[in-house]
Structure 1
């Protein structure tokens, strides 16, 4: 029997439909297997094997975090039914083709299956099918041109698993135990995650410490039949008096002393690598994790090529005309026809060229009815980018003018799109056209108006997710397959909220403590060095065990600093963690209001003056409470956001306003008869017990969703 092993069940089904004539599905130990004659296709569920520490290391209180550095991890089956099915099928197989995704992670998943099958049937022959799209031509070509498994590539993936396990577990345990944050509220620290968080926190520090400086700009509006505005050539004035002095001596006539207009090409964007794709998706409102999730779905369903790639150069083997021609008669028909009219394609290209996968491009013609709304937006983005990379440059006419008014120079500019080129296909981020009329040197213009605008310098902007992914790539943090996951983990761990991500006080505390007492953890240097080592493993230049040992040595040096400064780290963490629970001042006694937990595990907002002061406010039972830096104008309390897993965060707002709104609705319901036949349905309010034995009348008060 020829056994084909893919990474997921959906991929197994699609590959079976492409390769087999008559597909029959059967169950082996509850796992779907697709058969025809002497061929069977089975899908895994990603990693079916995991590594973890032995059970004796599970007790956080009894095992020193430092002991984990040299602890020997053990292999465990995470999908026992799939493992059992593989073993049964292995006994009947004479040939096995591994057809998992072709990258470091996919190769490791394939080698995991290889080891299980080889153990059950040592005589079986293996080969590897590599493909970049789940289409009939691509799959048939891959299976007609199989190659050996790349054990070096898999070893690089396994090295990452081992290193990340040790670093994450040892550092997370140390920080969590140091400040007493155990159970579900543990503080996560990681080899990639923490340097990433430090980038966000350090940027926020720059924003918070920024002191705006006033400046003034001088503008004049001219008219020669058409009006336009020009700014003083001095750009900005640090002193208002200087701008006012110039304004006071300006006359009502200006003379054109310089006028230029020239063509300026705007070259097409480069093809989509994973990083470039995430950046573009962020520009239309998608988080990094959501963009990659949708792209993965489009890939496995045969609409786009493999979305995890560093490549920004189309391979010569890719038939670009054929790829465009498939859109004739579909949603993109007029664009495909227009593109084909230009004849030979000269695609744009980026700096990175790899041989594993092409840049992300569409491999099949979808219609809106084939996809969900978000899937269509991402698919449309991929198609538009692909078309744009094959189109000629856009042509702009750029105009500039200098006008003299009583010895003072004013400058104006304008631009007009005269030939759309690639902009016809890719409207995202389209610059605004600015009109400047045709002028002549020596021409006199009427000064219709002059004004001074007072402005303030602006703080640095927060890093968006697309920008963070690009920074991670430049700094060597993570890989194309893991960078979006690292960002998502920061949200899951309550280190950041909002988009662009805003660090919580907990994030400030963790990064602050580590930057002060164990700085290497927060810098990208060690992580990027290990990433480079893992690339060398994949190329066969260095052994996996050598890199793992190197990482362990790095971690030992870090723990020397951590152990020495544990008390100081604890103090910094305590202060920061308290800040993340602080809501404001109690209206009854003036002491701090904090997010608290009851003995039964519920939570509420309680006064620090308890038991002398019993003021409390309710909180929702579910979700993570994020205390924002925005305060209620009426009560002075911090506004609260509730983050609940993968659901969309919602703003509870001021907890006092929320409670008062509930009281008001409750009172109205008691005095107003309810006509059930005519009253519109009301969405049930979210409830939250005050979760305190002293709750009194607040007990059970709902939280109103704003």
Structure 2
């Protein structure tokens, strides 16, 4: 308390405007800056001496306001209020469109602290020491603007967190105007992402969010990334494998044996050349080769050289961490950040460059020298320095044109101690990549051996490492660098010919192996990060593709967060290392395509944004012009999405069974033409999207022909959000019988407690069957949970359509403990008893342990213990078809046809 009071008096007595306030992005960075400037700690939140006041943000502590902060009408999500178009979102940051962030790690106090420091009378200058980049500019400027500060600003531009680098940066502070273009681009990016996210997410949620308004968020980077995963999954599902036969010959020469693959004549692609799609042809080649017995062998040798991989940027480090150790992108980023901030062992990790500045050669040498005797790769670092390879590295390592805000991730020269296992692995990756980049190329001798047996060619490849070069730094781990698609690396036995004639090989055997083409692999985090980084290759426009070369989808610093967002929003899930889209992702995919909102599914928009943001950074485009274009784009999208697309016939044609005319589609459903020109609904309706599954035209044709298709495992419960398996039936919706409405035999009297009068059992309610309407509708069918023999038609005799089959995996929780005598219905009506008439037949799949038939007991035992057990694994007694509380009868779901349970039990 004394220290705080004395400090307050010092603040008051200090000359006005005599101190410099430094605001870093994180507390750890503020601590490092204070150590270099030798500023003692004043409180737990900032450092202060007679010249400096050093504090920090905690990431983003100020953000853009919510729509309802602008106008209360936006609290209700309606189509008429879209697009959301705040007038003041014009590329500038005024205080009335900003608010403090309230989160688990920040309750708003951090912004209040920074505002207090910015408004202190003894502070005359402010230094922005946030991370060097767009987001660093944005974090500082939002705080500065919301606090309504008018003090002059300077910029601290840090590329490394070493003491020397920090001291040099303070000696060369930049004027804030030097990064004005970067700030304008950051504000435009922030406001444009807000406009797109708020408008497109609300638009999608209103239309497909359902009664519970499940949020379907849409974003400029998030959604194209999700669509990469969805499209890959659709490719896998729609993949039709083709059977082929591969012929492998076993050959022998005087110095040993080898194997070779027969080649299809006229095919140049290496993989396809080994695939025979005609079995008869394959077996004929094998038989003829065996019959001939010998082949003429020729070798073609080629020297191959392989350069060391370039230095790490964040994305390549994340990919390597995932490939080698299975680390998520988020984990690798967090570890690299700790090695940068806490251990001071690595340079700034959130970089998109794989090069070093040309004047960084002395620093690189110093970093290599620090590894000698401190790291296993230190021996190779010493060799690189001694051999002069560092000085001769040239533009492959040092290139100012390839360095923007930050350079590649390399060791700083500070040797870390006390690293965790994960930290040590990431640090080793960076160290070995840094040392290896200065080593000469690895040299191989590649041999292509051709064995001609009659008219049939057999091809064999061998690859031998001659000079290890940079691979020596990795040792045995260098083998992991080999691409799995590269051909074999085994050495081949030498050929010998005594008289100078072509060498010959004996055919020892020929194998014909059946195989099939494989679908593309699902994305894992390593391959998805690569796809996001190289998304510019998917853009046709050269200028836009060039703009995306540097960033792709997202930035190295945000790609890990994008993947984590998709996981958190239940669009995707991890299955081992693979990223698998869930039904919610397919729902969004189908909606965006039906509404012709493909601008959100392709990286084209990101390419355009990055191109224009670069123009803003360099002063070639104004922020207001960019924001005006974004608002115009959203206006067009909402108007187009609200218009119902014209109906088109399916191609190829699919005839409707209701009128024998071709089915039509409007992108949302398939329907017949029998009511064209009237106000009646079509007699045949099949929705494109059904509980997350997208029904294709091919599946429509199959459904009309077979009346049942499936099973499909991508259905999604609207209640639990979980995927489940089911079929799709084409039925008359007016003749579907909900469970509990079919005719039933009279139940036995209910058990009564001693001293009470028995109440007569109520006769079951009979329902008059509806006449077929001639209409057809696609509905879900769930086979019984037990008793299934793999054939869904096995249940048709008992449940001709949906019936009352329980949904697999969607059982309700066990009931609370109750005694049999206290069971009551809130409607004051008698509840059906658990007794069963001897002639009652139990539905297929029920969990009954009681005998069925004429000899079955009329009253199965039901103890309170068995009733309390509940749950999906508890045995069930044979019951009469359950009655439904009259109050709840109308709440029968069409899709699963299960009567809702009475909730009046006390």
1:143 to 133, 153, 170: 170
**Alpha carbons 2:79, 2:206 under 8 Å: kept:** no
Equivalent runs, 1:348-427 vs 2, <5 Å: 348-349=396-397, 353-367=402-416, 370-426=418-474, 427=477
- Structure with a larger share of its residues in strand: 1
How far apart are 1:72 and its partner, in Å? Answer: 4.8
How far apart are 1:382 and its partner, in Å? Answer: 1.5
Larger radius of gyration: 2
Equivalent runs, 1:122-133 vs 2, <5 Å: 122=150, 124-133=151-160
Is 1:329 the equivalent of 2:373? yes
1:249 to 283, 288, 310: 288
How far apart are 1:571 and its partner, in Å? Answer: 6.2
SS of corresponding position for 1:390: coil
Is 1:99 the equivalent of 2:143? no
Partner of 1:282: 322
**Alpha carbons 2:27, 2:58 under 8 Å: kept:** yes
Equivalent runs, 1:426-575 vs 2, <5 Å: 426=474, 427=477, 429-431=480-482, 433-440=489-496, 442-474=502-534, 475=536, 476=548, 477-498=553-574, 499-518=577-596, 519-565=598-644
Q: 1:330 to 1:611 in 2, by over 3 A?
A: farther
2:55 to 38, 42, 62: 42
**Alpha carbons 1:323, 1:363 under 8 Å: kept:** yes
Q: 1:470 to 1:605 in 2, by over 3 A?
A: closer
**Alpha carbons 1:278, 1:466 under 8 Å: kept:** yes
Give distance in 2, aligned partners of 1:604 and 1:184: 19
Is 1:272 the equivalent of 2:312? yes
Q: Per-residue CA shift, 1:593-613, capped at 9, x if unaligned? A: 987688xx9999999987549
How far apart are 1:6 and its partner, in Å? Answer: 0.4
**Alpha carbons 1:478, 1:531 under 8 Å: kept:** no
SS of corresponding position for 1:2: strand
SS of corresponding position for 1:535: helix
How far apart are 1:158 and its partner, in Å? Answer: 1.2
How far apart are 1:543 and its partner, in Å? Answer: 1.7
How far apart are 1:70 and its partner, in Å? Answer: 4.4
**Alpha carbons 1:252, 1:448 under 8 Å: kept:** no
SS of corresponding position for 1:415: strand
SS of corresponding position for 1:391: coil
Q: 1:509 to 1:306 in 2, by over 3 A?
A: same
Q: Per-residue CA shift, 1:288-312, capped at 9, x if unaligned? A: 3332232222222222112222322
Partner of 1:60: 76
Partner of 2:11: none
Give distance in 2, aligned partners of 1:67 and 1:658: 38
How far apart are 1:75 and its partner, in Å? Answer: 1.0
How far apart are 1:658 and its partner, in Å? Answer: 12
**Alpha carbons 1:178, 1:570 under 8 Å: kept:** no
How far apart are 1:699 and its partner, in Å? Answer: 4.6
- Structure with a larger share of its residues in helix: 1
Q: Per-residue CA shift, 1:268-317, capped at 9, x if unaligned? A: 11222233333323322223333223222222222211222232222112
How far apart are 1:211 and its partner, in Å? Answer: 0.9
Q: Per-residue CA shift, 1:199-224, capped at 9, x if unaligned? A: 22222222211111111111111223
Partner of 2:26: 8
**Alpha carbons 1:102, 1:131 under 8 Å: kept:** yes
2:385 to 327, 340, 344: 340
Give distance in 1, aligned partners of 2:721 and 2:447: 65
Q: Which moved more, 1:507-516 or 1:334-343?
A: 334-343
Q: 1:700 to 1:71 in 2, by over 3 A?
A: farther
Give distance in 1, aligned partners of 2:281 and 2:83: 68
Partner of 2:184: 155
Q: Per-residue CA shift, 1:169-194, capped at 9, x if unaligned? A: 11111111112447683111112222
TM-score w.r.t. length of structure 1? 0.79
How far apart are 1:110 and its partner, in Å? Answer: 2.2
Unmatched segments (≥5 aa) in structure 2: 1-18, 90-96, 265-273, 483-487, 537-547, 647-665, 671-685, 695-710, 727-735, 742-783, 791-806, 815-865, 875-906
SS of corresponding position for 2:691: helix
SS of corresponding position for 2:31: helix
**Alpha carbons 1:7, 1:43 under 8 Å: kept:** yes
Q: 1:486 to 1:220 in 2, by over 3 A?
A: same
Q: Which has the higher contact order (CA 8 A, sep 6+)?
A: 1
What RMSD in Å do the two structures reach over aligned CA positions?
3.8
How far apart are 1:513 and its partner, in Å? Answer: 2.0
How far apart are 1:196 and its partner, in Å? Answer: 2.0
SS of corresponding position for 2:34: helix
